[in-house]
Every structure is written in structure tokens, then in C-alpha cells.
Homo-oligomer: A and B are copies of this chain.
Amino acid sequence: MPDFYSDHKELLDRAVIATGERTYWSAYPEHPKAYAAEAGAQGEAAFNELLGTEFATDQAHDGYMDVAESSPFGVDLAITYPRTDVATVIEAATSAMKDWGRTSADERAGVCLEILDRLSASSFLMGHAVMHTTGQAFFMAFQAGGPHALDRALEAVAYAYAEQKRLPEDLRWEKPQGSRPPLVIDKRWIVRPRGVAVTIGVSTFPTWNGYPGIFASLACGNAVIVKPHPETILPLALVVRTAREVIAEAGFSPDVVQLLVDAPGNLVAKDLVMSPEVGIVDYTGGTGFGNWLEDNVHHADVYTEKAGVNSVIVDSAPDLAGVFKNLSVSMTMYSGQMCTTPQNVFIPQTGVAVGDDMVPYDDVVSGFVSAIDGLLGDDARAAGILGAVKGEATLLRVDEAGAGATVLSSSRSIDNPDFPGAVVRTPTIIEVDADSDVYNHEMFGPVIYIVRTRSTEDSIERAKSAALRSGAITWLAYTADESTMNEVIDAAIEAGVSVAFNLTGGLFVNQSAAFSDFHVTGANGAGNASLTDPAFVARRFITIGIRIEP
């Protein structure tokens, strides 16, 4: 039997240290050049070979089903997936969990890291799978879907492992009784899984958002049922296949990880999570179903990452060029389809202080719009930044957002020379008054609101109010004034939003680094959990105390 724990112990221990240090650290190389020279071509070929095929699986199934998986780049995926049902996967998971739940935290962590290792080796395949199901441009799909997601997975394993290892080894407890003999008892603690874990995948970042829950649950001994988004299946199907291979090699039932695919008209997530055997639900996706889960699933712990209204507060800056440069990238990459993308830019009608000058409101607005128009002026470059739009609902939102509004820049279609069927749209930029209500709701996708406020204080208050009403994951503020910075921080604390200041270089507010940034605070409507902190893992296992009188 392979000894995956020994194989990966060094990396595991390093990762545990990284969760405490939170300085820069990464385990999986993000640069394509760090991989074998032929890896890129092999990954693309492997992806192409999957098109139009039955997705091979060793899990119990009743043939293969057509699905609604779609490619925003217009590629005809036509992959069919194993057809099974809730009862079958629940029963198999419950059975497989017995041995997996009783083995050591060491062994489980070793298996998890071997899975990550193999997924890393196929990061180019994953990159293409993520690209063509989510609409991310290849470079983002490769990085966010591959190494960055793997870092988040490793982080979750490290937390889950460390938390289990906080329990002491077997020990003798002796309580003095004055002149009488002490009370003596031998104690040990056994970790068991909470219950069957369900991960409900998202259409846009299936691996990056899915890995933390999947791997934290696995590392704590739970069996995991992966239910991908009906329109984005392949990336998580690849994960399940790799996981099952490794788990079987380690001598466990591969049903520790299973795939359950559904399609519109026969959605299974509700049935699945309401099964009494389920103890954990991890969800990333829209607010509606996230709220349903939080309100209706009482027999299991529910971890949600939903949606929010992220804000930029522009108060003052040494110069505006860096502000516009940074903002134009962060607000357009992947067409605003990141849950961390800013939606609202709050600008005071009194203007923005730049050094000793006050740049008038209108100039700030036109500078911002010009920066975005300039960045996206070249179609080929624009296509590389914007990727493609996933989902009909987002397209519809873009079209409707401009109706009756003050449109500063209209969304336009862009041709992608490599993929003629790609659905590529520049953002609609809309100007609204702070008293408008429209910007308080999430407009997922390429829709940007410039909000004209009375003052920076007003901007802060509006951003806070939007976050408390609709949730928020990120704020970005530009200010050269320390007391204003502190006001923004105070508001961010109250709103439960993490905040970045004065980003003008190559770091974007959308980006959340594993082993350093906590993604989502859990303190507002954008989600009830954080990726990854101790709270995210600590309830995924149960501690049973054993006392034996010697």
C-alpha cells in the first residue's frame, strides 16, 4: 500500500506553518513555464479528447446522461456524465465513510495531498476545462482553476489536519485527593466525521470555490458527494475521478468521493441536502438558493458563499492614473463575474483630492470611463481580459441594466478571433445618484455603477448600507488621508467586509491569496463562512472521549 502521508509530510507541515504565518507562500506553481515543456499541449489534447464522449467513471451508474453544460466560448462540449440518484450516492457514501472516517488524520491528509499532486500535474487539462465551462480566458482559468485553487485546497487540508492534531495522545489523568489516593483514569479521544458532506458547485469558479469544502471535509473523515452546477460540470468531474483513483490506491472505497450530476428540469440539490445522512453542506452560488439552504437545512452545517455588492470608495490619491489603471483591470477581468469584483464606484460630487489639487467629479468620472474604454479598445486584448459571459441570466442583466439609465459607456459585443462562438461583452457603465436604489442590488457580470455621492462620508455610508443590505466581500478605497482611512476601516468592520487601500499596481482587489487572505468574512449576506479559517473546519469532525479506569 502506498504511504502518501510520508510522501507529503514535509509539504503538509509547511502548509500548517503557512496558515499561521500568513506571509506569501504557495505550493503549486502559477506560471505555465514551471511545468514540463509538453504539459501545455498534452493538457489541451486531453481536453479535446474528452469532447463528445461519455465521462468514464467507476462509480455506480445507470448509463450516461445529457446535460446542460455550456461553453461561453462556443465550443460544443457534448460530454455526457454518469447518471445516478440521491439514494444511491448517499448509501455508497455512508458505507465508504466507515473506514475512511476511522483511519488517522495523518493518512487522510496524505491521501488528500496525493490527490492535489495529481491534479497539479494535470493543471493544463484543468485550465482548459475551466476555461471552456466558465468563460474565463485561458490564463485565468489555468491559474485560478489550477494552482490557486490547489493552494486553497492545501490550505483547507492543513487547517483540518492541524485541528484534529490539537487533541492529545492517549494519557493518564490523575486528580489529587489530599491524603487519599488520587483519582486515576486513562483517556483517549477518537475523531469521527460529522456526516456525509455535500459540495454544491458554482458555475464560475468550480475548483477555487469548491476545493476548500471538499478537501476540509475529506481530511476530517467525511465522505463527499460533489454536485456540480448543471452548466459547469467537467472541472469537478475531473476532480472526482482523480480523487477516486487515489483513494482506491490507498485501500479505501473510492465512494468516499462521488459525483452526482443533474440537469434543469430534474435538479437534485434539495433532495440531496435534505437527506438525514448529510452532515455538511458547502455551497457557492446565487443568494436565493444560498438563503434557502441557510433557512431550511437544520440537520447539517451549512457553509455558504453567496453574492454581494462590492464597492470602491474614491476619496483622494497622489495621482489618478494608477487608480484608473488598477480599477479598469479589476473591474473588467472575466467580465465582472468574480464574486470579488467591485460593482459600485463611489465618487463625491465635490471631486477627488489629488495632491494639493481637487479634480472635479466630472473629470474623475470621464477619466475612469476612458481608462476602461482604452483598456478594452483593442478587441483582441479585450477578449483576453474579458473572457466570455457565462449564463443567459448575466447576458440579460447587461442588456437590461442600461434601460432608462444614464449610460456612460454601452456594452458592446466583441469578436474573439480564436473562438467565433464566444459570447464577449464589454461592461455597461452607468452613472447613478447616491439616492438611487439600483446599485444596492447585485448586478453580477459586466455592469458598473458610478455613484455620485455628496462627500466621502456619504460614500462610506452608502457602501456600508449596501453591504449590510445585500452583502459584500471586498471594498477598495483610495485615500491619502489617515483619518479617512480609519473611517473606512470602522465602516468595513461594521459591515463585515475586508478592505484594501490604494491599489495602483499589479495586485487587484479581486484576488484573494491562499494562506494569507481570508475570503469572505461570514458577517454579512455575502456568505456565512470564511475560506479558510479554523471555524471553517472545526465542526467537520466530532470528538468522542473514552475514559477507562485502569
Contacts and interface: CB of A to CB of B under 8 A. Distances in A.
Contact of A548 (B492, B502, B546): B502
A544 B492 contact: yes
A55 interface: no
A549 interface: yes
A438 interface: no
Interface in A23-40: 23-24, 31
Task: Find the residue from A22, A496, A521 having the highest chain B CB count within 10 A.
Answer: A22
Contacts of A118: none
A8 interface: no
A506 B23 contact: no
A547 B500 contact: yes
Interface stretch (A229-237, A381-389, A444-452, A533-541): A533-541
A489 interface: yes
Interface size class on chain A is 35 or more
Nearest to A539: B535
Contact of A499 (B31, B501, B535, B547): B547
A173 interface: yes
Contacts of A499: 544-547
Contact of A507 (B168, B185, B498, B545): B185
A493 B543 CA distance: 9
Interface in A312-328: none
A489 B168 CA distance: 18
A548 B500 contact: yes
By secondary structure, the A interface counts as: mixed
Contacts of A22: 167-168, 171, 173, 187
A379 interface: no
Contacts of A516: 173, 187
Contact of A173 (B23, B298, B489, B518): B23
A542 interface: yes
Interface string A163-176: 10011100111111
Interface in A135-189: 163, 166-168, 171-178, 183, 185, 187, 189
A544 B498 contact: yes
Given A498-B544, A542-B522, A543-B521, A549 B489 contact: no
A194 B521 CA distance: 10
A538 B537 CA distance: 10
A31 B547 CA distance: 24
Interface in A382-414: none
A524 to B, nearest CB: 9
A493 B190 contact: yes
A356 B65 CA distance: 63
A295 interface: yes
Interface string A71-83: 0000000000000
23 contacts: A22-B171, A22-B187, A23-B172, A24-B174, A166-B534, A183-B506, A185-B507, A187-B516, A187-B517, A190-B493, A192-B523, A492-B544, A493-B544, A499-B545, A500-B547, A500-B549, A502-B549, A517-B545, A518-B543, A518-B545, A521-B543, A535-B535, A535-B539
Q: Which 3 A-B pairs have the closest CB atoms?
A: A535-B538, A498-B545, A500-B547
